[in-house]
């Protein structure tokens, strides 16, 4: 009988232990992600609408719940990230490199993966502006965030090429911070001081349909080839404490990019419906499949941005290895 009671007690203890462990295993982990406006964030929209993060989490035994937030610029995302109100930011290379440099000795923010490689156009409706040299003090150039957005940084790089060394800030006094939708409305409305917009797809394509508009700068020409536009980034603490969640996010992103490459028409319709965009699905699909636009997690020419930003004093740190900028999950990629 003694052995029976011992076994029964052991079994009861095992049941009690299991009852304590199982709820913890089934506990939902919320991952807060932020994105901005534009078709360049299509991979994140696909991840959200298809529940890809939740699916990839389930494959890894995780119960993940993605919470999606919206920002108009990378600086706000960085503030939310540092204050603990955001887990994963999605934005331009400029803000990612800025916070990478600022946090190397503490929170160590790094990139998770690239979202895409896409060109950025500076578009103007001022008939007198044919090149950067033609902008006057009466012009205002809208960018997502002055100084820090990838558009603002690219404008500085273009100014350095146009006006010479030390002249990279020559047009900064003309820039104003404005989200892409508002910038497009302000410039095309003709009643605002905004006469130019350094934007992204699909805003730049829509603007160029107007006979008044012309392209002044192409970022691929400034960088000397295709470059990463958007990336995901997070703190090292998040990557360290939730490595499987990071794996799930990357896997979800890879799946989203695969779906985009294989079904541009379907993903165009998904994006238009989800984002409530007034746009012809065919036009959206044309942008998605455009040869210049690459849907890839591999970072491209990120070091060129870092090199300039370091020279210009926008980032205090520097590296010659792109892998120092990203978590090891994508170190097998052929980045640059």
pTM of the model: 0.86
Q: What's 27's DSSP letter?
A: P
Give the max Cα distance, the chain.
100
Which residues, including other chains, have CB under 8 Å from residue 32's CB and lie 6 or more apart? 67, 69, 85, 86, 87, 88
**3 state SS for 94-145:** HHHHHHHHHCCCCCCCEEEEECCECCCEEEECCCCCCCHHHCCCCCEEEECC
| For the chain, percent of residues with pLDDT exceeding 90 | 82
- Predicted local confidence at residue 148, as pLDDT: 81
Which residues, including other chains, have CB under 8 Å from residue 273's CB and lie 6 or more apart? none
- Return the structure tokens found at 277: 């965009």
The yes-or-no verdict on residue 18 having pLDDT over 70 is no
pLDDT digits (tens, 9 = 90+) for 278-294: 899 999 999 999 999 99
The yes-or-no verdict on residue 267 having pLDDT over 50 is yes
Q: What's 62's DSSP letter?
A: -
- Predicted local confidence at residue 226, as pLDDT: 97
Instruction: Tell me the H-state helices in the chain.
Output: 2-26, 42-50, 52-59, 74-82, 93-102, 150-163, 180-189, 203-208, 219-223, 236-241, 243-262, 264-275, 281-289, 302-311
CATH superfamily for 28-118+227-330 is: Periplasmic binding protein-like II (3.40.190.10)
pLDDT digits (tens, 9 = 90+) for 96-149: 999 999 999 999 999 999 999 999 999 999 999 999 999 999 999 999 889 888
Q: Contact 302/268 with Cβ under 8 angstroms?
A: no
Which pLDDT band holds residue 26 (cuts at 50, 70, 90)? low
Cα distances from 232 to residues 30, 212, 235, in angstroms, run: 17, 35, 11
Q: What's 175's DSSP letter?
A: E
pLDDT digits (tens, 9 = 90+) for 180-218: 889 999 999 988 899 999 999 999 999 999 999 999 999
Which residues, including other chains, have CB under 8 Å from residue 77's CB and lie 6 or more apart? 34, 71, 86, 89, 90, 91, 95
- How many C-alpha atoms does 243 have within 13 Å on its Cβ side? 5
Which pLDDT band holds residue 36 (cuts at 50, 70, 90)? confident
Q: What's 228's DSSP letter?
A: B
The yes-or-no verdict on residue 153 having pLDDT over 80 is yes
- pLDDT (mean) for 38-53: 96
- With both helix axes pointing from N to C terminus, report the angle between 42-50 and 264-275 in degrees, rounded to the nearest 10: 80
For the beta carbon of residue 197, count every other beta carbon within 10 angstroms.
29
Which pLDDT band holds residue 14 (cuts at 50, 70, 90)? very low
More confident residue, 278 or 47: 47
What distance in Å separates the CA atoms of residue 186 and residue 180, rounded to the nearest whole number? 10
- Predicted local confidence at residue 71, as pLDDT: 86
């Amino acid at each position: 009988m003694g052995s029976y009671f011992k076994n029964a007690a052991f079994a009861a203890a095992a049941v009690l232990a299991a009852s304590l462990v199982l709820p913890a295993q089934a506990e939902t982990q919320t991952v807060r992600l932020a994105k901005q406006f534009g078709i360049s964030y299509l991979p994140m929209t696909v991840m959200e609408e298809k529940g890809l993060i939740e699916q990839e989490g389930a494959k890894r035994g995780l119960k993940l719940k993605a919470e999606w937030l919206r920002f108009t610029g990378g600086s706000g995302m960085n503030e939310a990230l540092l204050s603990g109100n955001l887990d994963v930011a999605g934005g331009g290379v400029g803000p990612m490199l800025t916070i990478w440099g600022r946090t190397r000795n503490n929170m160590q923010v790094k990139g998770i993966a690239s979202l895409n490689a896409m060109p950025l156009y500076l578009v103007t409706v001022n008939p007198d502006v044919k090149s950067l040299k033609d902008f006057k003090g009466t012009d205002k150039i809208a960018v997502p965030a002055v100084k820090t957005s990838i558009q603002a940084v690219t404008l500085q790089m273009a100014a350095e090429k146009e006006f010479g060394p030390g002249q990279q800030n020559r047009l900064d006094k003309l820039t104003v911070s404005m989200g892409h939708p508002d910038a497009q409305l302000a410039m095309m409305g003709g009643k605002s001081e905004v006469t130019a917009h350094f934007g992204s797809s699909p805003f730049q394509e829509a603007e160029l349909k107007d006979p008044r508009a012309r392209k002044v700068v192409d970022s691929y020409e400034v960088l000397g080839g295709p470059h990463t536009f958007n990336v995901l980034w997070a703190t090292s603490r998040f990557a360290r404490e939730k490595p499987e969640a990071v794996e799930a996010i990357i896997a979800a992103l890879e799946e989203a990019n695969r779906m985009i490459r294989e079904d541009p028409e379907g993903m165009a319709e998904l994006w238009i419906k989800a984002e409530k965009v007034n746009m012809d699905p065919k036009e959206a699909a044309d942008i998605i499949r455009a040869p210049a636009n690459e849907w890839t997690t591999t970072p491209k020419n990120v070091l060129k941005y870092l090199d300039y930003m370091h020279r210009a004093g926008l980032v205090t740190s520097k590296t010659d290895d792109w892998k120092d900028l990203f978590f090891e999950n994508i170190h097998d990629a052929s980045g640059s």
